[in-house]
């Protein structure tokens, strides 16, 4: 039995829709590609999925919403999988309207528990003659005509800037639909930044794991500069294409130094940092899921110099303290509010 996600199974159940050159937007499992009767373009905004698409060379592969090199109206069918963050559907539909030829089929597929009911209302604004054509495996399939094609789709047009201030240091943070905490400073991140202002990290070379829009790295360098210190380098890593694009834009505007890597976890990173700072992920889709962060805690010691520090903020109910103790070193609680706790652990020195 196949183990594709429900949305991908439902597309195969409606394989008659895959007509001519097909664009699939929001692929979450590359196992779908060899089962499709036709080929074309596959886009994912997840760095891990993007890497694992590589063997499927019949398909043009695209990481996120950067359409450089893609032409308007180049596809005969465009399939849109409903994104986990509803705001991101705006991007996917606009990209679909750009990639699809005039009057070809645009298709939206999504799970009920992930909000296809609301998503279909948004679909109908872009595709007024859209209709529900199937309902199976907890999913709905909507299809209609690309009667209002876009002749351009430029991701930068969707970029919005939010000024945030913490401990007297202001940074301007780039936002795109679907990026974590777009338009505001997350409460956990704020507690972490306040704590970093009180107890600065030592070390010139820092890694921000799960950097989102780059708020921690750009603020950290701004804070060091304001104190008259060398800003150092804060590299960042995130799995999501929009986060990577935003972090790069935030760094550029702030004049911050550091490379932003598009990676799923730490596995693709080489090197060691003097400190790793993070407000790590705790969701997978709509569910709480701590597995990514647990894996990060198990692996992070090998990316710290001996004696290097991990500074982590998390919802206080999440079970990270014992793991940090086991895999990094003795843990201190540095700050706490009603929801979040900031922990610190130094990597055990080799004996
Ligand atoms: C809680 S947010 C924090 C974002 C940012 N550091 C901030 O404080 O605003 C967690 C981030 O983890 C990213 N993420 C989720 N899974 C990941 C993974 N496997 N590898 C790297 N980043 C991941 C998400 O895209 C999201 O940007």
Number of H helices, E strands in the chain: 9, 18
217, 190 Cβ separation under 8 angstroms: no
Look at residues 91, 82, 96 and name the one whose alpha carbon lies nearest to residue 146: 96
DSSP state of 137: T
Q: What is the rounded CA–CA span in Å between residue 145 and residue 127? A: 6
Contacts of 337 (CB under 8 A, 6+ apart): 187, 191
Domains observed in the chain: 6-155 (3.40.50.150), 159-346 (3.40.50.150)
**SS3 label, residue 42:** strand
The protein residue whose alpha carbon is closest to atom 10 in ligand 1 is 281
Give the phi and the psi of residue 223 in degrees, each rounded to 5. -70, -40
Q: What pTM value is reported for the model? A: 0.96
pLDDT tens for each residue of the chain, 351 residues long: 458 999 999 999 999 999 899 999 999 999 999 999 999 999 999 999 999 999 999 999 999 999 999 999 999 999 999 999 999 999 999 999 999 999 999 999 999 999 999 999 999 999 999 999 999 999 999 999 999 999 999 999 999 999 999 999 999 999 999 999 999 999 999 999 999 999 999 999 999 999 999 999 999 999 999 999 999 999 999 999 999 999 999 999 999 999 999 999 999 999 999 999 999 998 766 677 889 999 999 999 999 999 999 999 999 999 999 999 999 999 999 999 999 999 999 998 765
- Residue 286 confidence (pLDDT): 60
Please state, in angstroms and rounded to a whole number, the distance separating the CA atoms of residues 318 and 292. Answer: 13
Quote the CA–CA distance of 156 and 213 in Å, as a whole number.
14
Mutate to test the pocket of ligand 1, among 210, 236, 237, 243 (most ligand atoms within 8 A of CB): 210
Residues with a CB atom less than 6 Å from ligand 1:
180-181, 186, 189, 210-212, 215-216, 237-240, 243, 264-265, 279, 281, 292
- Of the candidates 263, 270, 245, 284, the residue with the CA atom closest to the CA atom of residue 49: 263
Best substitution site from 212, 264, 320 to test ligand 1's pocket, by max atoms within 8 Å of Cβ? 212
């Amino acid at each position: 039995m196949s183990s594709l996600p429900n949305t991908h199974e439902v597309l195969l159940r409606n394989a008659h829709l895959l007509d001519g050159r097909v664009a699939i937007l929001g692929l979450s499992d590359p196992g779908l590609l060899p089962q499709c009767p036709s080929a074309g373009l596959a886009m994912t905004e997840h760095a891990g999925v993007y890497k694992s698409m590589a063997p499927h060379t019949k398909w043009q592969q695209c990481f996120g919403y950067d359409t450089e090199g893609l032409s308007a109206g180049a596809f005969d069918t465009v399939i849109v999988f409903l994104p986990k963050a509803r705001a991101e559907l705006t991007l996917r539909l606009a990209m679909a309207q750009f990639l699809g030829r005039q009057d070809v089929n645009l298709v939206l597929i999504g799970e009920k528990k992930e909000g296809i009911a609301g998503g279909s209302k948004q679909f109908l604004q872009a595709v007024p003659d859209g209709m529900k054509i199937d309902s199976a495996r907890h999913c709905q399939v909507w299809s209609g005509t690309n009667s209002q094609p876009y002749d351009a789709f430029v991701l930068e047009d969707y970029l919005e800037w939010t000024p945030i201030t913490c401990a007297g240091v202001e940074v301007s943070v780039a936002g795109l639909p679907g990026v974590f905490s777009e338009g505001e400073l997350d409460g956990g991140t704020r507690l972490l930044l306040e704590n970093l202002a009180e107890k600065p990290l030592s070390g010139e070379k820092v890694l921000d794991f799960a950097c989102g829009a780059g708020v921690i790295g750009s603020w950290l360098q701004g804070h060091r500069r304001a104190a008259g210190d060398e800003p150092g380098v804060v590299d960042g890593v995130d799995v999501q294409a929009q986060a990577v694009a935003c972090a790069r834009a935030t760094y550029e505007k702030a004049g911050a130094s550091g490379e932003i890597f598009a990676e799923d976890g730490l596995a693709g990173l080489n090197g060691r940092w003097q400190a790793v700072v993070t407000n790590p992920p705790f969701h997978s889709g709509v569910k709480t899921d701590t597995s990514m962060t647990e894996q990060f805690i198990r692996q992070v010691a090998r990316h710290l110099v001996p004696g290097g520090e991990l500074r982590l903020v998390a919802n206080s109910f999440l079970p990270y303290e014992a793991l940090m103790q086991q895999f990094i070193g003795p843990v201190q609680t540095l700050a706490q509010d009603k929801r979040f706790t900031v922990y610190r652990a130094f990597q055990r020195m080799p004996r």
